[in-house]
Amino acid sequence: MGKTAVITGAGSGLGQSAAVRLAKEGVNIAVVDISEKGGIETVELVKQLGPDAIFIHADVSKAEEVKKYVDQTVEHFGTIDYFFNNAGISGSGQYFLQTEIDEIEKIVGINLMGALYGVRYVAEVMLKNGGGSIVNTASSAGVIGQDSVVTYSATKHGIVGLTKSLVAEYAKDGLRVNAIAPGPTETPMVKTFFEDNPDMKANAEAGIPQKRLGTPEEVAELVAFLLTSKAEYINGEVIRIDGGFTNTK
C-alpha cells in the first residue's frame, strides 16, 4: 500500500507543497487542516498523482482533535510512517506590548501546543510500529530573535527544543525528528502578513543575501528529503532554508 504521511496545515503553503512532493514519491497523505476548501484541494492534487489521500478537519490547538486525526489516519491507512508537523500562524505583526492576550494564546495554542499534541499522538503510533520520521516546522524566527513576531518567535524556539529533546529520548527506538527553519517564503500566510505590514516585505528581501523570498516548492524538497530514508542518519537537526538570511545575523 506504500508509506503514509500525516501533514498538518496541508491545505495551503508549505503543507500543500509537501503533500504534492511526497505524492510524487508514491506516499499516501492524510491531509489535516482547519480549512475544508484547501484540504479538499490538496486531496485532489495528491490523488491526481496516484497515491491515496483523505482530508481530516482539525483544530490542532485542541488535543482531542489531534487525537482524532491520528486515529482516523490509522483507521484508513493502517499506520503512520511520516509526519510533517507544520500547522502554524504568524500573528498580526504588532509589537509585543501592543499584542492582545487572545492573540498570544491563539498563536501558542496552534504553533506550540498543536505541535506538542501532534508528536505526542503520532510518535506513539510510530514507536508501536518500529519507528518513523517527523519534520517539525520551526522558522528563521526560531533560531534568531526578530521584532514584531515575539510570540511567534517564542513558539518556534519551542519547536527547536521539542525536536532536539525528542531525539534524546526516542532515537534509540527508531524515531527520527528534524526541524526546518524557513526564512520568508511565498506562502499565503506570509503574503497576508506582508500585505498587513508592507514595509516588512521590503526589509525582509533586503536582508536576504539571495534577494528574494523562498518558494514552498523549495521547502517541500527539503521536507521530503528529511522525511524519507534518504536521510536516515540525520537526526535532531534544525536545517535553515532561508537564502542566507540568518547567516548574516
Q: Which residues are catalytic, by number?
A: 152
- The 3-state secondary structure of 111-177, one letter per residue: HHHHHHHHHHHHHHHHHHCCCEEEEEECCHHHCCCCCCCHHHHHHHHHHHHHHHHHHHHHHHHCEEE
How far apart CA 72 and CA 66 sit, in angstroms, is 10
Nearest to 121 by CA among 64, 161, 75: 64
Angle at 179 between CA 243 and CA 246, to 5 degrees: 30
Grid cell for residue 184: 520568508
Report the 10 Å Cβ neighbour count for 96. 13
The DSSP code for 49 is T
Is 48 exposed, middle or buried (CB count within 10 Å of its CB: 0-12, 13-18, 19+)? exposed
